[in-house]
Amino acid sequence: MSLSEEQVQDIISRSRETGDYGELVEAIPYAKMIGMQVKRMGNEAFFCLPSAQNNIGNPVLPALHGGVIAGFMEQSAMLHLMMFMNSEVFPKIIDFSVDYLRAGLYRDTYATCQVWRQGRRVGNVAITAWQTRSSEPIATARAHFKLD
Which of 12, 82, 83, 98 binds other proteins (CB under 8 A)? It is: 98
Number of alpha carbons in the 13 Å side-chain half-sphere of residue 134: 9
Residue number, 16 or 102, with CB nearest to other proteins:
102
Contact residue for other proteins among 10, 20, 28, 124 (CB under 8 A): 28
SS3 label, residue 16: helix
Residue 38 interacting with other proteins (CB under 8 A): no
Pick between residue 30 and residue 116 the one whose CB is nearest to other proteins. Answer: 30
Contact between 132 and 63 under an 8 Å Cβ cutoff? The reply is no
Q: How many CA atoms lie within 13 A of 28 on its CB side?
A: 24
DSSP 57-88: S-TTTTBB-HHHHHHHHHHHHHHHHHHHSS--
* Interatomic CA distance for residues 50 and 68, integer angstroms: 12
Among 43, 95, 119, 121, binds other proteins (CB under 8 A): 95
Q: Does 93 bind other proteins (CB under 8 A)?
A: yes
* Residue count, binding to other proteins (CB under 8 A): 49
Q: Is 82 in the site for other proteins (CB under 8 A)?
A: no
Contacts with other proteins by CB under 8 A lie at 1-5, 8, 27-31, 33-34, 53-61, 63-72, 74-75, 90, 92-100, 102-104, 138-139
